[in-house]
Structure 1
Amino acid sequence: MKTIVIAGGNSGIGRQAARDLLADGHRLVLAGRDPSKGEAALASFGTARDRASFLAADLSTHDGVREAAGRILDEHQSLDALVHTTGVLTMQESRTADGLHPFFAVNYLSRYHLTQLLLPALRRSERPTVLMMTAAVPPTNDADFTRFPEFAPFNFGRDRKPVQLANHHYAAHLTRAEPGLAAGVINAGAVKTDIMRATPWYMRAGAKILGPVVFDSVETAAHNVVEATRRDDWKTPHYWGKPGRFEQHTPITLNNTTTQHLMDTSNSLTCA
């Protein structure tokens, strides 16, 4: 039995992954912003809810991440896996309380920050695992990080790729910095979940019309993250680019200088 934290486990892909991992007999901590969704998720698990708990947390801010990590560490001395399924999809210019764009704060920086704070508990596991879900962005050195981390003003078309690729760099960093820890990045695919709520109306309308044809099921989207959490036979760091195809994966090989620059910046922002 593993103890697994799923950030974003109260809805969408995270909730499906939680259901599948509970079916294996594991213990879960679900972290999410909305307590009502958290309670609904727990209720949907039936008798398995006895092995799951929900933590209300705002992971878009430094203070929210620190509070969540503190509460998790108070309850759990050891963690076997940390799964990041949180995400926001917004194209508007806005800023968090820390002065960061929410697309960057949630889709990358909160993952770095929460993982760093939970490393003491993860290190007590025989083979700790950290997984990050992103859009379909394979590992590549062809990205412009000159606007990292301010991304001001935010330009979705220009800034999406470096934000998502920062997850790959963090997976590479974790593999080097934490012997025995396995880190991976997983393409969430195209799934109709709550992440669409902040998109323009025409995108939501298109999703409603084309969803049955072009979207993956939530079960397919959750498959790779569940398998990577269950299994200990994959090399780190790796990227899974095909939803539902765990056997198809790519090693994450990136420029070490760029990785170190991004990690130094992330540490400076979070003090973690």
Structure 2
Amino acid sequence: MGTDADRASFLAADLSTHDGVRDPAQRVLDEHDRVDALVHSTGVFTSQESRTADGLHPFFAVNYLSRYHLTQLLLPALRQAGRPVVVMMTAAVPPSDDTDFTRFPELAPFDFGHDRKPIQLANHHCAAHLTRTEPGLAAAVVNAGAAKTDILRIDPWYMRAGAKVLGPVLFDSVETSAHNVVDATRRDDWQTPLYWGNPRQFEQRTPIALNTTTQRLMDTSHTLTGA
């Protein structure tokens, strides 16, 4: 058995910008011919109005667009796997929820209450698109639950204070939040695309259906990233 250094490596990346996504993707492709599973767990939580270098809101850029972009760039390596898996971790937004995508992708000015759901649901559409266009690829969206991380670090002090007080009641452990993600990448007894809404129940899942909105969202994503 090898050491931890033989089994894992770390690449620092800023996934809030197009160039920030392209750089780690190229580094992965330079080092690996095959990628068996890609798990998108990076996320930000901010309700403030701000823009990335590409003119996009960071909540949109990181929590959805970087996932589409990075997956597209790594497809050559994913296609070399026997059953490649792409998993996107999101908040609890079932694929059956209807929403308004007319503000995509500008989302200006950013309205967290209005824009959060369509950004999260875009992950479902991406999963549906991947399974339609990439034969043999399994794609899923997983509600990670309220994982005990430092995701609120850039939010107002009162939100951070509330999370600290209520954390023991509200937050799941990282192990609980990762449960369905790990099973989805290691098991092949599920049909794709799927959504896991309960972090503790792998057998409770909802099919993700492709609809006419999906192609428009993917076309927009392609236009933004070039991928």
* TM norm structure 2: 0.97
Partner of 1:189: 145
Partner of 2:51: 95
Q: Does 1:208 align with 2:164?
A: yes
Q: 2:31 aligns with which of 75, 91, 114?
A: 75
**Post-superposition offset of 1:192:** 2.5
Q: Does 1:236 align with 2:186?
A: no
Q: Does 1:271 align with 2:221?
A: no
RMSD: 1.3
Q: Deviations over 1:190-236 (max 9, x none)?
A: 12212111222222111111111122111100101011011111110
**Post-superposition offset of 1:127:** 0.2
Partner of 1:60: 16
Alpha-carbon contact 2:129-2:210 (below 8 Å) kept = no
Distance 1:214 1:102 in 2: 25
Gaps of 5+ in 2: none
Residues 1-272 of structure 1: pairs in structure 2 closer than 5 A? 47-140=3-96, 142-255=98-211, 257-272=212-227
Distance 1:149 1:140 in 2: 21
The one-letter code of the counterpart of 2:162 is G
Distance 1:63 1:215 in 2: 33
The one-letter code of the counterpart of 1:267 is H
Gaps of 5+ in 1: 1-24, 26-45
Relative contact order (alpha carbons < 8 A, sep ≥ 6): 1 or 2 greater?
2
**Post-superposition offset of 1:133:** 0.3
Q: CA 1:121/1:90 → structure 2, altered by over 3 Å: closer, same or farther? A: same
SS of 1:198's equivalent in the other structure is coil
Q: Deviations over 1:155-202 (max 9, x none)?
A: 000000000000000000000000000000000101221211122222
The one-letter code of the counterpart of 1:151 is L
Distance 1:70 1:58 in 2: 14
**Post-superposition offset of 1:141:** 5.2
Alpha-carbon contact 1:84-1:111 (below 8 Å) kept = yes
Q: Deviations over 1:32-73 (max 9, x none)?
A: xxxxxxxxxxxxxx9433200011111111011111111110
Distance 1:199 1:135 in 2: 17
Alpha-carbon contact 1:139-1:254 (below 8 Å) kept = no
Distance 1:236 1:250 in 2: 10
SS of 2:30's equivalent in the other structure is helix
Distance 1:219 1:175 in 2: 28
Alpha-carbon contact 1:140-1:254 (below 8 Å) kept = no
SS of 2:219's equivalent in the other structure is helix
Distance 2:219 2:144 in 1: 27
Q: CA 1:190/1:141 → structure 2, altered by over 3 Å: closer, same or farther? A: closer
Distance 1:77 1:230 in 2: 20
The one-letter code of the counterpart of 1:145 is F
**Post-superposition offset of 1:143:** 0.4
Alpha-carbon contact 2:195-2:208 (below 8 Å) kept = yes
Identity %: 79
Distance 2:173 2:10 in 1: 24
Partner of 1:30: none
